[in-house]
Amino acid sequence: MSGDSIDATPPLAEHNTQALRRLLSRARTIMAGPGEAEGRLEQITGIIAAELVAEVCSIYVRRAGDMLELYATQGLKSDAIHNTRLRVGEGLVGDIAAHARPLVLSDAQNHPNFAYRPETGEELFHSLMGVPAVRGGRVVGVLVVQNRTQRHYTDEEVETLETVAMVVAEMVAGGELVDQAELSPVDGIGIKPLRLEGLRLHNGIGMGTAVLHQPQYKVEQVVADDPVLEHQRLDDAYADMHGALQDMMETSAFDKAGEHREIMEAYRMIASDAGWLEKLHTAIDSGLTAEAAVERVQNDLSARMGQVADPYIRERVQDIEDLGSRLMRHLYGDQGQDTGELPEHVVLVARTLGPAQLFDYDASRLRALVLEEGSPTSHAAIVARALDIPVVAQVKDAIERIEQGDTIVVDGDSARVFVRAGEDVQQTFKDALKAKTVQAQKYDALKELPARTLDGTEVNLFINAGLLVDLRRMHETGANGIGLYRTEVPFMVRPEFPDVDEQEVIYREILDGADGKPVLFRTLDVGGDKVLPYWEPGDEENPAMGWRSIRISLDRPAMLRQQLRALVRASAGRDMRIMFPMIAEVSEFVAAKGMLDMELARHEERGLEVPTNVTVGCMLEVPALAFQLKALLRHSDFVSVGSNDLMQFLFASDRGNARLAGRYDTLSPSVLSFLRAVVSECDEAGKPISLCGEMAGYPLDAMALIGIGFRNLSLVPSSIGPVKAMVRSLELGSLERYLRTISDIDHRSVRKKLKNFAQDHQVEI
Ligand code: PEP
Ligand code: MG
């Protein structure tokens, strides 16, 4: 601590708590006292300046148009009051408001964001400490202290100022300083229709009533009258929250068993973290009510950690924020979203969703998800994709601009959200939805029917899966089984790497739920675009071609063997199907298969029940392997083409790069002749071949694949119906003949020709 900051009388924490309590109670008395609101604000600046030994204390209040206006000051020129105004984001004060986080600078004037305002006379002051005044998640003002010297403010001092800022926020929200209407965002909340844009995380259309996840609680009373009572209230709410989490683990309406249980368990562990509870109690010690303590600790956490880029830490921060909201709910005696009271069609609006939160809602009512944050690999995105509901993420200020009960249309395809839309817009989407419903009913009717062409060729349609909820979709669609189970997906939604026992449970539950239908497990395929939150991504220039997938598994044999052990155990007494991803040369496949053989032998040696039948296949995703197929097929029982990766390597075109999307076509003559050659080699060797990339889910692409010889396709569950309808309307013989006539053309794509063929032959695409 520098010499010119306040004297530290040890113990520091104790001193700080007492000082803070004193300051809070004085601020509270002033606030509730007589006189003009602005006069009282002025008095508050005086006591803060005195307590923090600062030469300046100023309070800025947020006004309409995102302006921060100086309302009261001790130490700056009084002429500046109501004259000094800064936009949110402008200058240091604007920076604090924009990021909702404290700023502590010993040499403020040399900071690049410093915006000099001559009317204030602030050129005399070098050091600055500022904090946001936050109310219901929104910054309503900024408190700043300044000193002439280059002072180093301590963490305790920042906390003191943050706590007093809560009292100021309460005063601003009271409406005495600015008109209440100014406190709302500018776009006429609750009245005007809005069109918001975001990032598509899952397509489709969803309509319904807005349900705000974690409604913003407005803390009514910041300063406690009776601290003992507040400690007790916190403990009671904390115990209630634990109990509710426990109940949810046992009785979640979402799914009776499965990954959510483990997610919840991890979640409960965070809730038991003594550090968190201690912080809450310390905040009460400083004079806050239990609610204000929760808000205070949450604000602090968001401010400190919100800017962290590390995905693992961000997830953890989200989890703790989520727990804070749960705790708040219990403090208010609100037991949370009672499904009985949920609207029939729910469009869930959230800033972000922690791992367990989607499970709070009755999945059968969820129509769409709107998130202020969220990325394609976030938990919510993974689960929502499995539920097949549209998700639009990164929608700016969604929570502020959407009100509970608003009608909302979410167009996942164009990543747009229509709030309080007019009748005409709603009608357009209603028509689109109705058409989709009619289609869905038509596909439902095909459920029990085989995917057989008009001329009698049978095609097996499997689903791609990753979560337990996918099993429901497998049964609903009448698919033949799971043709690609991405084992990395359950790893992605967990807080840490599952051990052998945990993995065994995951795989066993999948096999049990599949009810005897085949499940093809693919070993861990991480790296590239698939990031595990707890796994430090390597610093690679070209991750798609980097250390990923089977390359990691072979370099970390213990990890692969653990996974194989779990798969062998889960498959005891039943068929085991497994494949290895991203194999580039036969030796890699042989090495991986060797490890499986070792695990099987180890299992057998121990007298444990072994799988009845083991089928081991290889994914074809790297073009080089296609030129070594004969050798591969001496070792491999089947081949599954991963067309997503195969395309990116065939065309040297990044699958995740939006600028390249559509540049090359999956239905190019080159792709089709490549795949045709692969199919015929497999046929010659008498080994089955399937395709499990996205292209299998598009009816026209699937038609082409069947035309060149594929009889096994694995696709997203929502495509089973459309692809089956296509197969059942196809006369394969004429397609095969047609394809032969166009195999050598010099066009970039045969898409148009195949579309015309389908139209001419009444194939449903
Ligand atoms: C593929 O690459 O086509 C595939 C099925 O694997 P993933 O999409 O999981 O990489
Ligand atoms: Mg792949």
Is residue 236 very low, low, confident or very high in pLDDT (cuts 50, 70, 90)? very high
Q: Is the pLDDT of residue 189 over 50?
A: no
Ligand 2 centroid vs 399 CA: distance in angstroms? Answer: 36
- CB of 665 shorter than 6 A to ligand 1: no
Report the residue among 645, 646, 655 best suited for mutation to probe ligand 1: largest number of ligand atoms under 8 A from its CB: 645
**Could you tell me the strand order of the sheet in which 205-212 lies?**
194-197, 416-419, 407-411, 205-212, 346-350, 366-371, 391-393, 199-202
Residue 394: which of 426, 417, 367 has the closest Cα?
417
Higher pLDDT, 425 or 50: 50
At 376 the pLDDT is: 67
- CB of 692 shorter than 6 A to ligand 1: yes
At 339 the pLDDT is: 43
- Output b/e per residue, 631-644; b: 16+ Cβ within 10 A: ebbeebbbbbbbbb
Higher pLDDT, 615 or 321: 615
Is residue 185 very low, low, confident or very high in pLDDT (cuts 50, 70, 90)? low
Ligand 2 centroid vs 581 CA: distance in angstroms? Answer: 7
Ligand 2 centroid vs 644 CA: distance in angstroms? Answer: 6
Ligand that lies nearest to the alpha carbon of residue 695, given by its number in the listed order: 1
What tokens appear for 474 in the block? 């497998």
Ligand 2 centroid vs 641 CA: distance in angstroms? Answer: 9
- CB of 642 shorter than 6 A to ligand 1: yes
Using only C-alpha atoms, what is the Rg of the chain? Answer: 31
Helix (H) or strand (E) holding 591: helix 586-605
At 534 the pLDDT is: 67
Residue 365: which of 385, 347, 344, 348 has the closest Cα?
344
Task: Report the atom number in ligand 1 closest to the C-alpha of 642.
Answer: 3
Residue 667: which of 733, 765, 583 has the closest Cα?
765
Average pLDDT of the chain to the nearest whole number: 86
pLDDT tens, position by position, 461-507: 999 998 887 888 899 999 999 999 999 888 877 767 899 999 999 99
pLDDT tens, position by position, 580-597: 999 999 999 999 999 999
Residues 355-368, mean pLDDT to the nearest whole number:
77
- CB of 122 shorter than 6 A to ligand 1: no
12-26, 157-171, 544-558, 560-574: least confidently modelled range: 12-26
Ligand 1 centroid vs 463 CA: distance in angstroms? Answer: 13
Highest mean pLDDT among 329-333, 495-499, 663-667, 735-739: 735-739
Higher pLDDT, 433 or 696: 696
Is residue 184 very low, low, confident or very high in pLDDT (cuts 50, 70, 90)? low
Q: Going by CA atoms, what residue is nearest to atom 9 of ligand 1? A: 486
Q: What is the residue type of 703?
A: M
Residue 136: which of 102, 184, 198 has the closest Cα?
184
Domain boundaries, the chain: 14-183, 194-427, 463-718
Residues 569-587, mean pLDDT to the nearest whole number:
97
At 263 the pLDDT is: 59
pLDDT tens, position by position, 408-433: 999 998 999 999 988 888 888 898 88
- 458: which DSSP letter? B
Neighbouring C-beta atoms of residue 551, cutoff 10 Å:
16
Residues 158-182, mean pLDDT to the nearest whole number:
85
- CB of 621 shorter than 6 A to ligand 1: yes
Q: Going by CA atoms, what residue is nearest to atom 6 of ligand 1? A: 642
Higher pLDDT, 436 or 501: 501
Q: Domain 463-718 sits in which CATH superfamily? A: Phosphoenolpyruvate-binding domains (3.20.20.60)
Task: Report the atom number in ligand 1 closest to the C-alpha of 640.
Answer: 5
- CB of 470 shorter than 6 A to ligand 1: no
Is residue 1 very low, low, confident or very high in pLDDT (cuts 50, 70, 90)? very low
Measure the CA–CA gap between 614 and 620, rounded to whole angstroms. Answer: 20
Q: Annotate 329-393 with DSSP letters as a single string.
A: HHHTT-----GGGS-SSEEEEES---TTGGGGS-GGGEEEEEESS--TTSHHHHHHHHHT--EEE
- CB of 488 shorter than 6 A to ligand 1: no
Measure the CA–CA gap between 325 and 51, rounded to whole angstroms. Answer: 32
Is residue 363 very low, low, confident or very high in pLDDT (cuts 50, 70, 90)? confident
Length of the chain: 765
Architecture field, domain 14-183: 2-Layer Sandwich (3.30)
Q: Is the pLDDT of residue 633 over 90?
A: yes
Ligand that lies nearest to the alpha carbon of residue 484, given by its number in the listed order: 1
Q: Is the pLDDT of residue 136 over 80?
A: no
For 465, half-sphere exposure in the C-beta direction (CA atoms, 13 angstrom radius) is 29
End-to-end C-alpha distance for the chain, whole angstroms: 72
- CB of 486 shorter than 6 A to ligand 1: yes
Task: Report the atom number in ligand 1 closest to the C-alpha of 484.
Answer: 5
Q: Is the pLDDT of residue 306 over 70?
A: no
At 455 the pLDDT is: 97
Ligand 1 centroid vs 336 CA: distance in angstroms? Answer: 39
Is residue 381 very low, low, confident or very high in pLDDT (cuts 50, 70, 90)? confident
Helix (H/G/I), strand (E/B), else coil: 234: helix
Residue 64: which of 44, 84, 88 has the closest Cα?
88
Helices (H) and strands (E) in the chain, counts: 26, 22
Ligand 1 centroid vs 550 CA: distance in angstroms? Answer: 13
Measure the CA–CA gap between 460 and 339, rounded to whole angstroms. Answer: 39
Q: Going by CA atoms, what residue is nearest to atom 1 of ligand 1? A: 642
Please name the residue that has the structure tokens 């009960």: 405
pTM for the model: 0.67
Ligand 2 centroid vs 617 CA: distance in angstroms? Answer: 14
Report the residue among 462, 525, 639 best suited for mutation to probe ligand 1: largest number of ligand atoms under 8 A from its CB: 525
Task: Report the atom number in ligand 1 closest to the C-alpha of 486.
Answer: 9
Judge whether 383 and 467 are in contact, CB under 8 Å.
Answer: yes
To the question of domain 194-427 being in CATH 3.50.30.10, the answer is: yes
Q: Annotate 508-563 with DSSP letters as a single string.
A: HHHHHHTTTS-EEEE----BTTB--TTS-----S-GGGSS-THHHHHHSHHHHHHH
Residues 601-611, mean pLDDT to the nearest whole number:
95
pLDDT tens, position by position, 192-230: 788 999 988 888 899 999 998 866 677 878 888 888 999
Task: Report the atom number in ligand 1 closest to the C-alpha of 488.
Answer: 9
Measure the CA–CA gap between 173 and 166, rounded to whole angstroms. Answer: 10
Task: Report the atom number in ligand 1 closest to the C-alpha of 641.
Answer: 3
- CB of 337 shorter than 6 A to ligand 1: no
Judge whether 720 and 482 are in contact, CB under 8 Å.
Answer: no
Higher pLDDT, 165 or 257: 165
What tokens appear for 374 in the block? 């969220």
Neighbouring C-beta atoms of residue 622, cutoff 10 Å:
21
Judge whether 96 and 102 are in contact, CB under 8 Å.
Answer: yes
Q: What is the residue type of 511?
A: L
- CB of 58 shorter than 6 A to ligand 1: no
